[in-house]
């Protein structure tokens, strides 16, 4: 089938508000050996789902019988037009924890899926007999590899996909299809522009990054979202004020430095809050947490995980300044038998660290 169909579909994606789109050929992953070594080393931490369906993950054609191509899209969630050096929570007297930029707006899973489902439904009508499967973190595929193959960008030393104009503040979605799409003739070919730069490696607060590899068990994003157990005490200080996710490696990246043609974020990702008040989180019950995260991607983190994160941030705050109300709440949590074991243990570890430094 002529490349003009692929170009037409890519154009429709751009009209739907996606910042970038491209077509990747249906092929097995080139990262099989590296992926198996990463898993064998335990670098995925407690993310056991990474090792499940590994054969599918390493051959994305298996996500849909007869897959002949992948449509890959990228949503921009933060702009390069202004200064991105600071992602600090709103100023005020109360202690707050920072949220990664991608999680400050509406849930990207819902935002992207709605538009991709609409496109797939339209294409099914236009091309009877063709099949489509929409994937937004819902299938065991390596979205970043497909994004590179589709010309969205290159995979950087911090493993993020960087678009040469948009930077790395992008979210990825994929549509597997049996349509015989071919790569558009003028599709940009990804070239690694990281060069000798090592800013992301040097800035990572926990030393989780080595070139083109992340040790998940030390990554602040992993620790605050995916990890469900207690967090090693030696990593508490390095977590700073991050209560959900981390943007450090992206904030220091020169490819995210301000530029006027860096694109406009999709409106649904407009930040609602850059942070959460620690006392609020530490006082949450299950209903309050559900209400706070009702339309947010942060609903991935359960109540115990958020309270654990808030306690660690509280400990870091209390090492720098006094806050009687916050300290009293940490003590109350440590003594509250209705709290989960992870939460109580974390509160006690935080208090012990404060005692050791006094």
257-302 per-position pLDDT tens digit = 988 788 899 999 999 989 999 999 999 999 999 999 999 999 999 9
Q: Is the pLDDT of residue 42 over 50?
A: yes
Supply the pTM of this predicted model: 0.91
Reported as type and span, the H/E element at residue 177 is strand 170-177
Percent of the chain at pLDDT exceeding 90: 77
**Residue of 137, 192, 247, 285 marked catalytic:** 137
Q: Is the pLDDT of residue 90 over 70?
A: no
In this structure, the number of other CB atoms found within 10 A of the CB of residue 156 comes to 23
By the 8 A CB rule, do 311 and 282 touch?
yes
- Provide DSSP, 54-103: HHHHT-GGGGSTT--EEEEEEEE-S-SSS--S--PPPPSSS-EEEE-GGG
By the 8 A CB rule, do 1 and 181 touch?
yes
Check residue 160 and give left, alpha or beta (phi > 0: left; psi -120 to 50: alpha). Answer: beta
Contacting residues for 207 by C-beta, under 8 A, at least 6 apart = 218
Least confident of 86-95, 135-144, 243-252: 86-95
Whether residue 53 lies in the annotated active site: no
Q: Is the pLDDT of residue 85 over 80?
A: no
**Which residues, in sequence order, are bridge partners of residue 220?**
none
Reported as type and span, the H/E element at residue 135 is strand 132-135
User: CA-based angle 159:165:167, to the nearest 5?
Assistant: 30
CA 341 to CA 320: how far, in whole Å? Answer: 27
Q: Helices then strands (H, E): number in the chain? A: 13, 11
Sort strands 132-135 and 170-177 into parallel, antiparallel or unpaired: antiparallel
Contacting residues for 33 by C-beta, under 8 A, at least 6 apart = none
Instruction: Give 10's pLDDT tier (boundaries 50, 70, 90).
Output: very high
Distances (CA, A) of 53 to 32, 50, 112, 201: 13, 8, 24, 30
pLDDT digits (tens, 9 = 90+) for 15-31: 999 999 999 999 988 88
By the 8 A CB rule, do 100 and 197 touch?
no
Domain ranges for the chain: 3-79+100-177, 199-348
């Amino acid at each position: 089938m002529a490349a003009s169909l692929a170009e037409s579909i890519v154009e429709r994606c751009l009209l739907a508000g996606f910042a970038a789109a491209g077509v990747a050929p249906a092929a097995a992953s080139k990262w099989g050996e590296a992926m198996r070594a990463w898993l064998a080393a335990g670098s995925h931490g407690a993310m056991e789902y990474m090792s499940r369906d590994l054969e599918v993950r390493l051959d994305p054609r298996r996500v849909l019988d007869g897959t002949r191509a992948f449509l890959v899209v990228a949503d921009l969630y933060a702009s390069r037009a202004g200064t991105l050096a600071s992602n600090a929570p709103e100023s005020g007297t109360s202690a707050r924890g920072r949220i990664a930029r991608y999680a400050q707006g509406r849930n990207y899973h819902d935002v992207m899926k709605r538009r991709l489902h609409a496109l797939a439904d339209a294409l099914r009508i236009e091309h009877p007999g063709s099949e489509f499967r929409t994937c937004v973190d819902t299938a065991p595929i390596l979205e970043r590899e497909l994004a590179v193959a589709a010309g969205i960008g290159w995979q950087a030393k911090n493993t993020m996909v960087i678009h040469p104009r948009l930077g790395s503040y992008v979210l990825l979605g994929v549509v597997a299809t049996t349509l015989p799409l071919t790569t558009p003739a003028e599709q940009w070919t990804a070239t690694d522009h990281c060069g000798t730069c090592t800013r992301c490696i040097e800035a990572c607060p926990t030393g989780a990054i080595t070139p083109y590899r992340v040790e998940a068990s030390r990554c602040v994003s992993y620790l605050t979202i995916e990890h469900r157990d207690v967090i090693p005490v030696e990593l508490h200080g390095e977590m700073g004020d991050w209560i959900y996710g981390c943007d450090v490696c992206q904030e220091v990246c020169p490819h995210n430095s301000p530029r006027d043609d860096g694109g406009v974020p999709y409106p649904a990702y407009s930040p609602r809050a850059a942070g959460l008040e620690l006392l609020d989180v530490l006082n949450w019950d299950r209903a309050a947490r559900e209400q706070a995260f009702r339309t947010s991607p942060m609903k991935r983190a359960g109540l115990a995980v958020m309270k654990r994160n808030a306690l660690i941030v509280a400990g870091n705050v209390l090492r720098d300044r006094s806050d009687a109300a916050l300290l009293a709440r940490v003590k109350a949590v440590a003594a509250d038998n209705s709290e989960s074991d992870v939460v109580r243990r974390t509160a006690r570890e935080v208090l012990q660290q404060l005692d050791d430094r006094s």
